[in-house]
Structure 1
Amino acid sequence: MKKLLRFITCGNVDDGKSTLIGHLLYESKLLFADQEKALELDSKVGSRGGEIDYALLLDGLLAEREQGITIDVAYRYFTTDERSFIVADTPGHEEYTRNMAVGASFAELAILLVDATKGITVQTKRHARICALMGIRHIVVAVNKMDLVNFEQQRFEAIKRDFLTLATTLDFSTIQVIPVSATNGDNIITASAATPWYEELALLPYLEAINVEEDALATFTLPIQRVSRPNQDFRGFQGQIESGRIAVGDEIIALPSNERAIVKQILVTDRTEQEAVAGQPVTVQLSKEVDVSRGCVLTTDTTLTTAQKFTAHVLVLDTEPLVIGKNYLCKIGTQTIAGVITAITHKINIENGDLVAAESLQKNELAECTIALAEPVIMSTFNTHHTLGSFILIDRLTHMTAACGVIQNLEQTTSIFAQQTTVTAAIREAQKQQRALTLWFTGLSGAGKSTLANEVEKRLVLLGHHTMLLDGDNLRLGLNKNLAFDEASRSENNRRIAEVAKLLNEAGLITLAACISPLEQDRKQAQNIIGEAYIEIFISTPLTTCESRDTKGLYAKARQQEIEAFTGISSPYETPKKPHIIVDTTSLSIEQATDKIMRALASYL
């Protein structure tokens, strides 16, 4: 079987990336007859006066052909007698840097084009740094348009020196600099007579010969994507093997539970196999029941661990700035969890690599940040494990990919330990003869959360229960008075309420928390903090009813834009997915709504 090389072309806009790959495919006779004919016909109405425009092989979008630039990533598969290839032709325009990063994330080698007439540009430096960030360790610098500088060796050597100076700060294993003319074909397939001073391999022979294989990880790693349970007799764990190999009879560790089990069966698609290796999608059946779900990892690596805080190099991909304190969804492997940027250590000057202080990050900027997650997850440093050491940040409101990054260091909290007390939560519950709960009232402003929480507390006290009511507005006057009303501050407001509720539960109290908590992820975080004691009560009163009440005049001010980011008007409210109790106060009196909640609570008290 021929070895596969996955590579990208990158560099500044109009440096000739698509032309280079198009010429390579055309001259190597790696096109089907209809593709070759279509290229020749399209070129007659192209921008080169009837001469073959090789870029048309990859620039397939109408907008790309109209503007003469690459916008989206174009993938092509081809094979020679020596090797198989998958190439991703990526855009050079700064506006489409995120598309270039996507292409780089799959590649083992990058061909970085440099226009011989312009030399190393800012975008050249940006793409080189992104390649290094994405783990590409092999790079070919194709100094293109050498025909426009009369194939001058001095010009080539100057550009080569400039790039090698840049690369001293980047972690590339191999660097090859080749003089080429993408349009004329010099040094693409065979050595060119125009560059007798260049005595090394042409581009295609170099790609066929280079060894990009790294030492295979000895440890088996399988991030779980899905648990398959078609019947009572079968429970399999599905995902793609990211490293190592596994065989029937091997012992594995299930993380994060650290349970051990023996591999009973391996399925690759619908075939039973005795072993499987990295890159294969598999279903693994174990010898016993273990606690495994999506996001867990099956492995033989005893050093793999969980962490809740890490430092990372990130590339900003969204137009919205990346800011300290804002909450994002962080996707690592098959795990997705809430996270917040706690610090921006520095951003990296694209021009010279200098480290610059920053409070926020703009689109296409590179930086080092510290990120804290809502709970510990399985992760690794990028150099140790690419899949579990890379991540993306997702904007929780727009669901846009805000940034991508690679983990540099895991921060293990070893100096702080939970102190076990003699009087436990269970003892306090027994003393009060009640089950400690948190009744989390959520809904729009004016829905009736505070009113109903107050009435429910009165009923509970009359029944002899010990309670404490946490009202969102009251906490804003004290514990949370230093918080604003932006998304990050609101999330922190909810987190603090949940932490206080947890402490009150440990005191044996029934806690009632009345707060809008508009985002599902914030409510999920509260539930994770509080645990089984969390009871979600959704006051589902519709916006029209809430606004008609407007007892505080808040909706009127929001409509007049006197209040920014007001839930239901200028900020979203995400309807709870699985609340324990639902009450609509539109047609119910306070007594009727309270009665409904108390009846529903009977099974929890």
Structure 2
Amino acid sequence: MSDIETKANGPVYVTEALIADDIDAYLDQHQHKTMLRFITCGSVDDGKSTLIGRLLYDSKMIFEDQLAALETDSKKVGTQGQEIDFALLVDGLAAEREQGITIDVAYRFFNTEKRKFIVADCPGHEQYTRNMVTGASTADLAVILIDARKGVLVQTRRHSYLCHLIGIKNLVLAVNKMDLVDYDHAVFDSIVKDYTEFARSIGIENFTAMPISGFKGDNITGPSENTPWYKGPSLIEHLETVEVLSSVDVAKPFRLPVQWVNRPNLDFRGFSGLISTGSVKPGDAIRVLPSGKTSTVTRVVTLDGDLDEAVAGQSVTVCFADEIDCSRGDVIATADNPPEAADQFESTIVWLNDEPLHVGRAYWLKLGTQTVSVTVREPKYTVNVNTMEQMAAKTLELNAIGVAELSTDKPIVFESYADNRTLGGFILIDKITNATVAAGMLNFSLRRAQNVHWQAVDISRDAHAGLKNQKPAVLWFTGLSGSGKSTIANLVEKKLHRMNRHTFLLDGDNVRHGLNKDLGFTEADRIENIRRVGEVAKLMTDAGLIVITAFISPFKAEREMVRAMLPEGEFVEVFIDTPLSVAEERDVKGLYKKARAGDLKNFTGIDSPYEAPAKPEIRIDTTKITPDEAANLIVDALLGDA
């Protein structure tokens, strides 16, 4: 008790208990600070990394050893005197430091007395736009930087459009490097005027403009003497006081996408997830989507105990009064104001992959905790971010922004992205590579999704199959042109017919004379060709038939798409494994000769790829056995599984 703190009303003895109370009070205050997630974006060399480094430095979020290393690194990259290159705090990749650019999204944490922050430094180069979308997807605010010497650039427009598209309501226009234009008020006003015209053209009505210097620190943590003509807030002051998106979400209807069913023992059953919008408390009436089952909340459970109420942004486990079905991917919502479910939508898509969109190909769509198979139709248009012109397009290339219709294989629970980011924002995943190829926003469900319903029928597919005394199946023959698919498929059907099996043969050439006569041989048309054949084959198996198909079907994704249409075990992939040289030597139809001469474009094996099956149910090597022997092997394998 030797330390004494003197106050106006007399001395206060500082005891260990008092220190502990102060620490507890500080920790409690820190724990209940609001969190703001924001991004910095804009064109190359606008000073995004430097600005974040300055924020970290001024908020005392750099340790002494980090500061020492920063000073050393600054000298290595050529910073003069004692000045610090703040960008090095954020540019962590070796390639970033070597090139002096940002490549990956760098996330940094810092806090002030009023608020905690997570900031994402997004790359400015066009080729890394996909990374910028990643950073913006969870942001409450965007700081759009503009180099005062250069003004509004193409990437400024692109990033602004993406921020608006993703739904970031709070925008800061930070005119940076004002020290390099002598803090000229006229330069600042001119840039703000240009940006205002562009912003209004894309629907941005409000933003906060401020003149700053990330390198010198002007208007970062406080007002700058160099800009006496600027009367607005400093950047930190604005960040500390701006309304956080999560506070807006609390006022919306309750939505909780279920992540998992919490069943530690027979006495407890709850449904866990992160509340996306609204609030919930015991006694609330809820509805589980898409089933529509209703119940009442009995408990709201967390690791620290039960809550009287939980709000958007909290992870909780909710217990029901009734034993109703609810599992991962379902959405728990307020009973009298639930979201809708649909399987067809208009969406806005940002394409993030080097390989373009394959129209009609099945991708995985992940929305909240829901994962479904989806196909994308030909885009209605793409957007030119420079002119805001809507341009016709057959597909989506890297960094393209387009509007297209989606069809999922089953209804999903959703809300428009404008109303709910969690239930309106999705990603597309390539089924073969598992790469994330696109990010998107659902705009609305299509009317036909609500008007078209499944008609209940009394005679089931099992009844159809039972009448024929056989198990339905699809024998999917795949292989190069000239491999012998049609020959062997025809022999298989003849053998099955003699055994009184009910079959139907779908041949690639025959189908193109009718059902698919409107399709060519581009990659998109090949995908649509297989999709249609798959749908027909599925209908035929519903009728109890054994369907035999003979199609090159060169892409794994489309063969897997058809497999996914059918019950497990009914899709039998038959790989007619014939080397290209052998198939070309046969060249019964003269197609290889035409392809080699350049008279036949997009021919599989020549200028279009063939993706061989990795694990087909049946593999036939036509260099070792005759077509009749192959047919016998296939029939034996099929009926042996029947």
The bucket for the TM-score relative to the shorter chain is 0.7 to 0.9
TM, length-normalised to structure 2: 0.81
TM-fit CA distance, 1:170: 4.2
Paired residue secondary structure (2:421) = coil
CA shift in 2, pair 1:292/1:177, >3 Å: same
Question: How far, CA to CA, are the matches of 2:269 and 2:597 in structure 1?
Answer: 55
Question: How far, CA to CA, are the matches of 1:590 and 1:226 in structure 2?
Answer: 51
Question: How far, CA to CA, are the matches of 1:227 and 1:560 in structure 2?
Answer: 58
Out of 510, 533, 536, which is 1:474 matched to? 510
Paired residue secondary structure (2:76) = coil
Question: How far, CA to CA, are the matches of 1:515 and 1:115 in structure 2?
Answer: 57
Match of 2:138 in 1: 106
The 5 Å alignment of 1:242-281 reads 242-246=276-280, 252-260=286-294, 268=302, 273=306, 277-281=311-315
CA shift in 2, pair 1:267/1:571, >3 Å: farther
TM, length-normalised to structure 1: 0.85
Most deviating of 174-183 and 106-115? 174-183
Match of 1:162 in 2: 194
Out of 449, 461, 476, which is 2:497 matched to? 461
CA shift in 2, pair 1:293/1:484, >3 Å: farther
Q: Does 1:75 align with 2:125?
A: no
CA shift in 2, pair 1:435/1:78, >3 Å: same
Question: How far, CA to CA, are the matches of 1:518 and 1:282 in structure 2?
Answer: 47
TM-fit CA distance, 1:330: 3.2
Q: Does 1:526 align with 2:525?
A: no
Q: Does 1:39 align with 2:70?
A: yes
The 5 Å alignment of 1:129-144 reads 129-144=161-176
Out of 142, 158, 166, which is 1:126 matched to? 158
Match of 2:13 in 1: none
Paired residue secondary structure (2:443) = strand
Question: How far, CA to CA, are the matches of 1:341 and 1:555 in structure 2?
Answer: 31
Q: Does 1:408 align with 2:439?
A: no
Question: How far, CA to CA, are the matches of 1:11 and 1:91 in structure 2?
Answer: 8
For 1:59-109, what per-residue CA distance to the aligned partner results, in whole angstroms no more than 9, with x for missing partners? 122222222221111111011111100011111122221111111112100
Which amino acid is the alignment partner of residue 121 of structure 1? L
Question: How far, CA to CA, are the matches of 2:610 and 2:316 in structure 1?
Answer: 40
Asked whether the 8 Å contact 1:447–1:546 carries over to 2, the reply is: no
For 1:311-332, what per-residue CA distance to the aligned partner results, in whole angstroms no more than 9, with x for missing partners? 2223233334447556544333
CA shift in 2, pair 1:411/1:40, >3 Å: same
Which amino acid is the alignment partner of residue 365 of structure 2? C
Most deviating of 594-603 and 139-148? 594-603
Which amino acid is the alignment partner of residue 210 of structure 1? V
Which amino acid is the alignment partner of residue 313 of structure 2? G
Q: Does 1:13 align with 2:44?
A: yes
CA shift in 2, pair 1:602/1:401, >3 Å: closer
Match of 1:28 in 2: 59
Question: How far, CA to CA, are the matches of 1:230 and 1:83 in structure 2?
Answer: 37
Question: How far, CA to CA, are the matches of 1:452 and 1:419 in structure 2?
Answer: 38
The structure having more radius of gyration, on CA atoms, is 2
Which amino acid is the alignment partner of residue 144 of structure 1? N
Which amino acid is the alignment partner of residue 257 of structure 2? P
Question: How far, CA to CA, are the matches of 1:53 and 1:371 in structure 2?
Answer: 47
Q: Does 1:571 align with 2:626?
A: no
Paired residue secondary structure (1:489) = helix
Question: How far, CA to CA, are the matches of 2:269 and 2:497 in structure 1?
Answer: 47
Most deviating of 479-488 and 290-299? 290-299
TM-fit CA distance, 1:287: 6.5
CA shift in 2, pair 1:568/1:437, >3 Å: farther
TM-fit CA distance, 1:136: 0.8
CA shift in 2, pair 1:500/1:391, >3 Å: same
Asked whether the 8 Å contact 1:444–1:573 carries over to 2, the reply is: no
Paired residue secondary structure (1:119) = coil
How many residues of Structure 1 are paired with residues of Structure 2 in the alignment?
A: 600
Match of 1:209 in 2: 241
Asked whether the 8 Å contact 2:374–2:406 carries over to 1, the reply is: yes
Paired residue secondary structure (2:107) = strand
CA shift in 2, pair 1:428/1:190, >3 Å: closer
Which amino acid is the alignment partner of residue 59 of structure 2? S
What is the root-mean-square deviation in Å for CA atoms of aligned residues? 3.8
Question: How far, CA to CA, are the matches of 2:281 and 2:298 in structure 1?
Answer: 9
CA shift in 2, pair 1:486/1:59, >3 Å: same
Question: How far, CA to CA, are the matches of 1:261 and 1:584 in structure 2?
Answer: 56
Which amino acid is the alignment partner of residue 438 of structure 1? A
Out of 551, 556, 570, which is 1:535 matched to? 570
Paired residue secondary structure (1:85) = strand
CA shift in 2, pair 1:601/1:315, >3 Å: closer
The 5 Å alignment of 1:183-582 reads 183-212=215-244, 213-225=247-259, 239-246=273-280, 252-260=286-294, 268=302, 273=306, 277-281=311-315, 294-300=328-334, 302-322=337-357, 328-395=363-430, 399-413=434-448, 414-416=450-452, 432-435=467-470, 437-445=472-480, 450-451=486-487, 453-519=489-555, 521-529=557-565, 531-532=566-567, 535-540=570-575, 542=577, 547=582, 551-552=586-587, 564=602, 566=604, 571-573=609-611, 575=613, 582=618
TM-fit CA distance, 1:461: 2.8
Paired residue secondary structure (2:152) = coil
Paired residue secondary structure (2:366) = strand
Question: How far, CA to CA, are the matches of 1:186 and 1:435 in structure 2?
Answer: 80
Q: Does 1:182 align with 2:221?
A: no
Which amino acid is the alignment partner of residue 96 of structure 2? E
CA shift in 2, pair 1:173/1:386, >3 Å: farther
Asked whether the 8 Å contact 1:442–1:518 carries over to 2, the reply is: no
TM-fit CA distance, 1:293: 5.2
Paired residue secondary structure (2:528) = helix
Asked whether the 8 Å contact 2:358–2:524 carries over to 1, the reply is: no
Asked whether the 8 Å contact 1:138–1:173 carries over to 2, the reply is: no
Question: How far, CA to CA, are the matches of 1:173 and 1:545 in structure 2?
Answer: 60
Which amino acid is the alignment partner of residue 193 of structure 1? E
Aligned-pair identity in percent equals 42
Most deviating of 119-128 and 145-154? 145-154
Question: How far, CA to CA, are the matches of 2:286 and 2:483 in structure 1?
Answer: 51
Question: How far, CA to CA, are the matches of 2:410 and 2:491 in structure 1?
Answer: 34
CA shift in 2, pair 1:397/1:572, >3 Å: farther
TM-fit CA distance, 1:309: 2.2
CA shift in 2, pair 1:534/1:166, >3 Å: same
Question: How far, CA to CA, are the matches of 1:294 and 1:340 in structure 2?
Answer: 22
